[in-house]
Chains A and B, each alone.
Chain A
Amino acid sequence: MKINGIEIDDTFAEAFGMAGTGVIITADTMKWARVAAVTMSGFGTSVIGAGAEVGIDRELSPSETPDGRPGVRVLLFGFSPDAAANQLKTRVGQCVLTSPGSACYAGVESEKRIGLGKGPRYFGDGFQTAKKLGDRRYWRIPVMDGEFVIEETTGVVTDAVGGGNILMLGNDRAGLLQTAEAAVDAIGNVPDVITPFPGGIVRSGSKVGSKYKGAIASTNDAFCPTLRGRVKSEVGPDTIAVLEIVIDGLTSKSVADAMRAGIKTVLEIGAAKGVTRITAGNYGGKLGQHHYKLRELLP
């Protein structure tokens, strides 16, 4: 199928079940809420190598945050609730607690809870105090610029999805990147999803396994344009670059919505920027329980 000069493969993205949680980070200004959120999201690209996939869902106006200050919602995905809890504790302790003027609250509501302030509160060295209002408990930890307020727990969902994806092939690397950026921006408007890689875009798609012992993943040679002719290549003769957008979401629907928004943007821009083809990454459908067929996600 071809739309606006772009070929769309009849294939599907294969994604996996994950545990998803989130926090709301506030600060005196949006700038500093973003600083804390970006820092916490750093090195949160692939759960395999980084332990968790972390990213900014969206910015929140003061009326949307618990303390009436500007805020950012960060989502974190891990293999299990326990794994997510460990990553959360470390990242909040190192990146949010330390950020000037910050506070941190539950960003996901669900019956199942994991610790948020349970660990960082001990930084207070006995001077920390709790304040329970209704069914929410907040810890107040004295720090050098006042108090760091952090909620005791946040929600975690076990039916989150990691690894929704779109692959874009093109004959103009700069144009392909611009198109991918626009797609990431569009996905940014979809709630409950993140694109955890740098700028939301991956240039080093991977395959399972390697010729080297101990490496569980290696370069996706089938989509490396410079290997065309040497391997069983998936790229055509005019392709000089391939970029991927990986999407994690709190629900399967949110991942589908995000893929739909990204594809729509790419197709609207059309082939003028050098995008020639859209496809998706999968493992033959045998590994991931979530399959997103591209033809069902077209605008």
Chain B
Amino acid sequence: MSGLTFRLTSAPVERLDLSTLTPKVLASTPLADVLKLNVGTTKSGVKLGDVFTVSGKPGDTIIIEGSTNKLDFVGTDLEHGSVIVEGDVGVGAGRNMRSGRLDIRGDAGALLGSGIGGGEIYVKGSAGSQVGGLTPGDKFGMTGGLIVIDGQAGDRAGDRMRRGTIFIRGKCGSFAGSRMVGGTIWTELGFGADPGMLLRRGTLIGPSVDQFLPTFVDAGRHDLVILPILSRYLREKLGPKAPKALPGIVRKYAGDLATVGKGEILITA
């Protein structure tokens, strides 16, 4: 593993936009110019070199040390290689990722992996609202890839998500899968209130739901062949850290009948 290590020298006084800090940009830009990149979000014009020290050689990996939740858009547009963050990140981490791997060894802010189309995001801590969601102007949220969160996820995870998989070891907030068009959200500790609001297609899996929307119907208990396929997919991705395989029988709730209604909430307990 070769690459550059960026170490935050002091707590930022303003939010920093690190969307330009990708392996692709670093591979094509002289390091001296990289340090001149404007990462500030106010008129002050903070340069990368003002707040980070750099060590190592350019390669496929970027390591960000001493990170705080004021570092936004880490790993944006990532197409290859990996970004490892020691600490927390702010909003929009992994936005529009297409491939590669983003490893956040702390908490993530809102809109983690918004618009992600491929690649993998791993969060050691918890994530804010709208994991895999969308921002104004986007047609869809997450359209592919994998997001794994070891802690909790905030509200509206998978908002207008179309494809891909979100796996949350902790609890998922309210309104998970709102306006979802496809894809899978799997939580090991259950969903908050009203998951699947205006869910068109897609699958929400968990042991419990705090409160069901009235527009979901109980479709009975079923053994679904797709579930062991999903378990195997995560086993291949996560190895020994993979979750326990899904049970053979789940209870299916179909909805949201306020819209297309081809989605499902599968209760594993």
Contacts and interface: CB of A to CB of B under 8 A. Distances in A.
B222 A129 contact: no
Interface stretch (A8-16, A51-59, A130-138): A130-138
Interface string A89-127: 000000000000001000000000000000000000001
A103 B262 contact: no
B230 A133 contact: yes
Contacts of A67: 225, 228-229, 232
A133 B225 contact: no
A69 B245 CA distance: 14
Interface string B156-191: 000000011100000000000000001110000000
Nearest to A132: B163
A68 interface: yes
Q: Which of B165, B182, B229, B230 has the most CB of A within 10 A?
A: B229
Nearest to B223: A146
B223 A68 contact: no
Nearest to A127: B262
B interface SS class:
mixed
Nearest to B262: A129
A128 to B, nearest CB: 9
Contacts of A26: 225
What does DSSP make chain A's interface, helix, strand, loop or mixed?
A: strand
A147 B203 CA distance: 15
Interface string B207-234: 0000000000000001111101110110
Contacts of B224: 140, 146-147
B222 A149 contact: no
Given A66-B232, A68-B232, A127-B262, A132 B144 contact: yes
* Interface-centre pick from A132, A147, A149 (highest chain B CB count, 10 A): A132
B95 interface: no
A133 B236 CA distance: 11
B123 to A, nearest CB: 19
B201 interface: yes
Contact of A146 (B144, B164, B222): B222
A198 to B, nearest CB: 32
A108 B143 CA distance: 27
A126 to B, nearest CB: 9
Given A66-B232, A68-B228, A131 B222 contact: no
Contacts of B262: 127, 129
Interface residues of B, number: 23
Contact of B226 (A69, A127, A134, A149): A149
Nearest to B120: A134
Given A129-B262, A132-B163, A134-B233, A140 B228 contact: no
A69 B227 CA distance: 12
Contact of B229 (A129, A130, A138, A146): A138
Contacts of B225: 26, 67, 69, 103, 146-147, 149
Contacts of A127: 262
A149 B163 contact: no
A284 B92 CA distance: 69
A104 to B, nearest CB: 10
B94 to A, nearest CB: 17
Contacts of A132: 144, 163-164, 182-183
A133 B182 contact: no
A133 B229 contact: yes
Contacts of A149: 225-226, 229
Nearest to A140: B226
- Of B144, B182, B223, B226, most buried by chain A (CB within 10 Å of CB) is B226
Residue of B183, B225, B232 with most chain A CB atoms under a 10 A cut-off: B225
B129 to A, nearest CB: 25
A130 B144 CA distance: 13
Nearest to B184: A131
A69 to B, nearest CB: 8
B144 to A, nearest CB: 7
Contacts of A130: 182
A99 to B, nearest CB: 13
Contact of A131 (B146, B203, B228, B237): B203
Given A66-B229, A66-B232, A68-B228, 15 more contacts: A26-B225, A69-B228, A127-B262, A130-B182, A131-B203, A131-B230, A133-B184, A133-B230, A133-B233, A134-B146, A134-B236, A146-B223, A146-B224, A147-B226, A149-B225
13 contacts: A67-B228, A69-B228, A129-B262, A131-B184, A131-B229, A132-B144, A132-B164, A134-B233, A134-B236, A146-B223, A146-B225, A147-B225, A147-B226
